Structure 1
Amino acid sequence: MNRHQAREKALQALFQIDMTKTSAEEAIEAVLEDKSPHSLLVELVNGVVQQQEAIDEFITKHLENWSLSRLARIDRNILRIAAYEMRFLDDIPVNVSIDEAIELAKTFGDDQSSRFVNGVLSKLKSGLEK
């Protein structure tokens, strides 16, 4: 499993948690299908769950005319993964986090998801630089 696949699985696990309120461990196990977990997958799921309040606040500050609860679940969780990477994982360049999030949005979101995710994450990046 490479890092991109780990992000895909993390998104699937976080989506499941968002829908069913299952535990992080159960969600990770469900998406792995008896494969061994990539360390990034575990880091992203556990990190987003543990830091969700701070991440959601960070995202909310940069949403215009939207509330976090109104976002599509898939977009919300893509933003959470990218925001977690941007704020808490120093070994991943911010632009890589943004690019990966856009790719996830193209794969899993609707027609407008990638543009929306790009716009929000660009604002988050600007917020980090201040």
Structure 2
Amino acid sequence: MKRHEAREKAFQTLFQLDLIDEDIEETIQERLEEVEKDQFLQELVTGVVEKRQEIDEIISANLEKWSFNRLAAVEKAVLRIATYEIKHMEDIPENVSINEAVTLAKLYGDDKSGKFVNGVLSKIIKD
């Protein structure tokens, strides 16, 4: 599986986790069993889940005139994946993480999602 496809699957899984009130471990297992075993995909999903509080704090600290709780589920999931990559996956260039996040935001969000995600992530990499 290509990394772009893995990011999209990770996005779908994390998006689903944000919307449902079920056992996280069970949901992750179900979603990951649906796709071929991909180490990058598994690292993204489990990494974001394990570091979620830290990631959310980083995102919150880089929002201007916006609160984390007001973010749409699409933007939350995309920002969490990219922030995890930027802060915890040193083998991925920051610009690649940002470009992939913007692509996902444009695909699943509204007209302004890509620009918003780009702005927040640009602030995060300057920290």
Q: How many residues align?
A: 126
How much identity, in percent, do the aligned residues show?
A: 51
Deviations 1:62-105 (A, max 9, x none): 10011111001010110000000000001111111001000101
Structure 1 residue 27 and structure 2 residue 28: aligned? yes
Q: Residue 39 of structure 1 corresponds to which residue in structure 2?
A: 39
Structure 1 residue 64 and structure 2 residue 64: aligned? yes
TM-score, reference length from structure 1: 0.91
- Structure 2 contact 4–100 (Cα < 8 Å) conserved: yes
Describe how 1:1-130 pairs up with structure 2 within 5 A.
Answer: 1-22=1-22, 23-27=24-28, 29-30=30-31, 33=34, 35-127=35-127
1:24: how far off?
4.2
1:36: how far off?
1.1
- Structure 1 contact 11–81 (Cα < 8 Å) conserved: yes
- Structure 2 contact 14–45 (Cα < 8 Å) conserved: yes
Name the CA distance, whole Å, in 2 between partners of 1:28 and 1:102: 27
Bigger relative contact order (CA 8 A; separation at least 6): 2
TM-score, reference length from structure 2: 0.93
Name the CA distance, whole Å, in 2 between partners of 1:109 and 1:61: 22
